[in-house]
Amino acid sequence: MDQTDFLIIGAGVVGLAIASEISERFPKDIVTLLEKHPKFGQEASSRNSEVIHAGMYYPENSLKAKLCVEGNRLMYEFCKKWSISHERTGKLIVANTEKEVSTLESILIQGEKNGVEDLKLLNRSEIAALEPEICAKAAVLSPSTGTVNSHSLMKRLEQLALNRKTIIAYKHEVLKIEPENEKYRVFYSSPDGSLQSVLSSWLINSSGLSSDKTASLMGIDIDEAGYLLHPCKGEYFSIPPSKAKRISHLIYPPPFTDLRGLGIHLTRFPDKSVKLGPNAFYIDEEDYSVSPGHAADFFNSIKDYLPFLELKDLTPDMAGIRPKLQKPGESIHDFIICHEKERGLKRAINLIGIESPGLTSCLSLARLVGNMIIEA
């Protein structure tokens, strides 16, 4: 592995989707993907709600809105084509107070602006017809929200990339990047612990929670560029199957006003488990434990709209960490997907802050990166 045409850093769902896309669009070129863990998707891509979002929350014309709406369509097509386990469950965003009802109205308007055309406002009796066990005076129904088995999705993307001759190297951590004759010399640790390097014409940074650090390896001042990430944890609690079977849709409250999370919701996972979560709080150190002490907060957030649940039904389950550009107290930030030619880094693309809806958007993100390469 001395030279490559494209070097992608990080084998989460986004890096894998980019590897699959680029190796299809540039079949004569060598595509290499380096990942520090022994297998794909060990970070955010396997620690999330596995929801295929519809795209109604995000500001109009933002990358999040555009890529989510396009990604939703691409994801269903892809899952059907490659027999990936998924379900068009539909989702209800529920409201019980006047303030929450007005939030639902704003979501409807935002959804329409974003091109989500199938949203519907339901009254109490329409909600009862769909979900007799929940308590809500109004709800937005999103029929095109669903779930996908993220492991099967990543496995298929990995297989497509490999079939198209991508070199995928696990246990290879990128440690240093140096410019060399208009290319990039990328130093990485290999499984035997030795430091090796590869020269690449293109560099694509899809390293998730570490993508700000990877950008700084390229020589970018991440404070000045606004690339510094603020890890924000989300925990989940599972509920027993006997209670889980009483609900068939995904049930969400109105989102947090700063959109740091979508509110503690109920998700039916593709493996048939049902979980509540995620909450959203900023952390200083990577830690995937779930605090049993948070059960009471979870219960208080959901008891008004899921009245059949009791505190004792909640069991600590898993946690994920969002790579947020938004600092505590700030409002939502968009994805950063930037060809860094203005910074003198020709043929280097950074993807920073790829939090939700990054899973939904992985195929549209990959397509956008492919288009940026062609434009260059």
Ligand X SMILES: Cc1cc2nc3c(=O)[nH]c(=O)nc-3n(C[C@H](O)[C@H](O)[C@H](O)COP(=O)(O)OP(=O)(O)OC[C@H]3O[C@@H](n4cnc5c(N)ncnc54)[C@H](O)[C@@H]3O)c2cc1C
CA-wise closest residue to 111 among 327, 313, 255 = 255
Backbone angles phi, psi at 363, to 5 degrees: -75, -35
8 or 134: whose CB is closer to ligand X? 8
Instruction: Please report whether residue 295 would count as binding ligand X according to CB under 6 A.
Output: no
Measured from the CB atom, is 41 or 111 closer to ligand X? 41
Smallest separation (angstroms) from ligand X to the CB of 57: 11
Which range in 30-38, 122-130, 177-185, 195-203 contacts ligand X by CB under 6 A?
Answer: 30-38
Number of residues in contact with ligand X, rule: CB under 6 A? 42
DSSP E strand boundaries for the chain: 3-9, 31-34, 51-52, 86-87, 91-95, 120-123, 138-142, 146-148, 167-169, 173-180, 183-189, 195-205, 230-238, 250-252, 265-268, 274-277, 281-282, 315-324, 336-339, 348-352
SS3 category, 179: strand
| 348 near ligand X, judged by CB under 6 A | no
> Can you list the pairs that 324-329 forms with residues at least 24 positions away whose Cβ atoms lie under 8 Å?
324/229, 324/230, 324/231, 324/232, 324/260, 324/282, 324/353, 324/355, 325/226, 325/227, 325/228, 325/229, 325/230, 325/352, 325/353, 326/230, 326/258, 326/260, 327/230, 328/230, 328/282, 329/258
Determine the 3-state secondary structure of 91 from DSSP.
strand
Candidates 29-37, 81-89, 223-231, 342-350: pick the segment binding ligand X (CB under 6 A).
Answer: 29-37
Q: Which stretch binds ligand X (CB under 6 A): 6-14, 162-170, 292-300, 337-345?
A: 6-14
Site string for ligand X, 250-289 (x = CB under 6 A): ----------------------------x-----------
Cα 19 from chain centroid (whole Å)? 17
What x-and-dash track marks residues 220-249 binding ligand X by CB under 6 A?
Answer: --------------x---------------
Please name the amino acid found at residue 209: L
The only residue of 320, 332, 340, 368 in contact with ligand X, by rule CB under 6 A: 320
Shortest CB 213 distance to ligand X, Å: 7
- Output the smallest distance, CB 13 to ligand X, in A: 5
Q: Which stretch binds ligand X (CB under 6 A): 44-52, 78-86, 133-141, 178-186?
A: 44-52
DSSP secondary structure string for all residues of 332-351 = ----EEEEGGGGT-TTEEEE
Nearest-angstrom CA–CA distance, 200 and 329: 39
**101 or 228, CB closer to ligand X?**
228
List 42, 197, 273, 315, residue binding ligand X (CB under 6 A): 42
Is residue 10 part of the contact set for ligand X (CB under 6 A)? Answer: yes
- 62 binds ligand X per the rule CB under 6 A: no
By CB under 6 A, which span of 100-108, 133-141, 336-344, 348-356 interacts with ligand X? 348-356
Residues that bind ligand X (CB under 6 A): 9-15, 34-37, 41-45, 47-51, 53, 173-174, 206-210, 214, 234, 278, 320-322, 354-360
